[in-house]
Structures are given as C-alpha cells and as structure tokens.
Structure 1
Amino acid sequence: MMRRAAFGAALAASALSACAGPSLLLLDNEDGSSEGALAVIDEGCGNPDGSTIAGSFTRTKLTGCAPRPKGVGADGLKPDERALINDLPPPPARFIMYFVPDTTDLAPGSEGMIEALDRHFKARPGAEIEIIGYTDTVGKADYNLVLSQKRAEEIKGRLVQMGFPTGVITTTGRGETELRFPTPDETENGGNRRVEIIVR
C-alpha cells in the first residue's frame, strides 16, 4: 500500500509513466521528502499485495512479476521527464492562523499571516484556497464543530473583502478533530485553536 506521505510522488510518477513507456519514475514528495512507498499490483502474478517500490528518483520497468527499481538520481532524468517536472505547479503553501478562545477573533501575531497569504496568492496565478477550521477540546464536540466552521468562514470573509475571488475559496470546519497538539478533553490549547489555509 502507498503511504499518504508518498501521494505527491505517486501522482507525478503516474503522469511521467505515460511519457516514459512501460516504466515508472518516482520523485520526491511535494514537501521535498522521500518517505513512503508505492505498490504495483498485477492480478496475473498471483500476488495480491503486489511489489513495493520506494525511493526518490528511481525508475522501474513495469514488466514481469517482480519489478525492481533502479536509482537514476536527479541528474539521470530524461529530457522529456525533466521538461514535464519543470512544468508542474509549485507545491501547496500552508498558512496557520490562531484564535482567541471561544471566538472567531484572530490571536495576536496572526494578523501578519493575512498579509503573507495575500502576497503569495497574488504571485500564484490560478491558485485555489482551502480553509480548514479547528478548535481545542474545551466545550462540546458539536459546538466546536460549528465554531470551527465559523472560524473558517471568518477568514474567507476577510479575504473576500481584500479582493480574493470567492469562487476559488472553500471552507471546512473539523472541530476538535485532528488536534495539532493532542490533549485530553476540556483542555485549552492555543495551538489547536486555528485555521489552516492551503494554497494550491
């Protein structure tokens, strides 16, 4: 199975495989890491788990039932592969903003993130923005889910007022799930009261 961390590399590899014939080229993940692996499954080989391929800048011929990756390094890319990589969009950028407890008011120090986001968005034509709101574990889960959505909507509203097109912004509230800093229930934590903004 492919780990979530390797997803970016696998997508790039799938795109490149169409140009490179019956072979697969694995790249770094979007964040520059090389963690993760990819399973290649051929139902005719009688191996339901498939063969595992891992390693950045490896090329694997997709023939036979035991494909083996060969390291080629960044310098070993073919011209068409390098051209395709150069045409890929930049990796997503992430911004985090924090909130005053039980409000949609930004905490001191987070205002500057709005300006940084504005500069980044304007330098990235065609970008889309995903805003995900969270809370800490103080309060009931249902209440926190609503509060997290309100936080995401608050940031969207501010961006729209600044001239961001509303059609490129999506919002989601996830309440006290996916804590950045795991804590017991009813624990105040400023690092968990946040929105995460992904620009891609």
Structure 2
Amino acid sequence: MLNTGSLRIGGKKQLLAEDVFRHVGEAILSGQLKPHERIRDIELARELHVSRMPVREALQRLERIGLVRMYPSRYTEVSEVTDATFEASCEFAGFQSGFVAHLAAGRMDDEQRAEAASMIDRIVAATDDQTTSSLIRRDLFTYLSKHSDNFLQHSLLDEASLALTRNLQRLVRDPAHREASLPAWGALRKALLAGDSSAAERAARAVHGLV
C-alpha cells in the first residue's frame, strides 16, 4: 500500500495525472515501491481516490522514463536498475547536466550563483549521507536547469529527474567515486561563481564520471 497522505488532489485530470506521476515516482525512488513490485491501476486509483484515467497516464509517463514496465490488461511492474540502465543514466545525466551548467553559468545573477554554490557545499558536506547527497544533487541540477532559461531543456531534465536520481544511486554509493568527485564539485562551484560556462560544463560532466 502506498502512503497517500501527501497526495495533492486537484480539480483537473491533468493535475491529477501529474500528482500521481510524482507520488508514485517518489515512492519508487524512496524504496517504498521495490523492483518487480506490481502496481495495478484499479487498486492505485482506489488508494489515491482518483479515477483510473490519470493513473494510467501517470504510469505511461513512468514507463517512458524507465521506472516501470507495463503489461497491458494485466499489471505494471517497478523496473530494476540493470548495468545497462546505470551506464545509460550516467551518460545521459553527464551530458545533460553539462549542458544546463554551461547555460546557467552564463545566465544566472550573483544571488543565483551563490545559491548554486551553497547547494554544492551541502552536497560535499553530505558525501557520506547517500540519501541526502543524492537528493541535493537532484535539486542542484534542477536549479541549474531552471536557470538555463531554456524551457525545452528544463522540461526534458525535469521529466527524467526521478529516474536519474533512482538510477544513479549506485554512483552515489560508490566510495571511490565519491572521493574522486570532490575535486569536480569544487571545480563546478568555482566555475559557476565565475560565470565560466565551458569550465562549468566540464566539471558537471566530471561529477558524473565523464571526461
């Protein structure tokens, strides 16, 4: 059973589908819904007090980003993170975060640069707290994406953020990567504060293991 206490019930089908998408996605991310666990749309709709249509729309979106696998007329299953999934996610996250860091570095004002630097400080401070570090990491690149001033790029990364956060947990758990990423986080902080777009792009790729 999902914890439905935080679900925001809106008055429109589109809003409901967005709520269900985020709610189920966060349940997968937190481990409340585990790999291979089955989700039946009629049961989920009953639990969330919504119709089946927004539930189906939300599950279709979750399938598109790889968090679930749908078996029509049967059930939906939470996917697992395979080696191929992990590698594809590192590649996608590295290049996409590099692009938004490049754009944001040249477009943020001083206050926004300082906020981004503060978020990096919190990531570094939480290096040994994998859950906290992973969530702040997601917030940072969402923040940079928002301030890239490119709505298409922001929409793309925002849609994929739940899947990327789940799929990259292996990266955050790896002690060798955490240690190796510290200089890259420092370089990203310096580049953002200086408004150096090219350096910010290289550093953002490096924190995902890309060179």
TM more than 0.5:
no
Task: From the two aligned structures, give the one with the greater strand fraction.
Answer: 1
Which TM-score band applies after superposition, normalised by the shorter structure? under 0.3
The TM-score, its normalising length taken from structure 2, stands at: 0.22
Structure of higher CA gyration radius:
1
TM-score (norm 1): 0.23
Task: Return the structure number with greater helix share.
Answer: 2
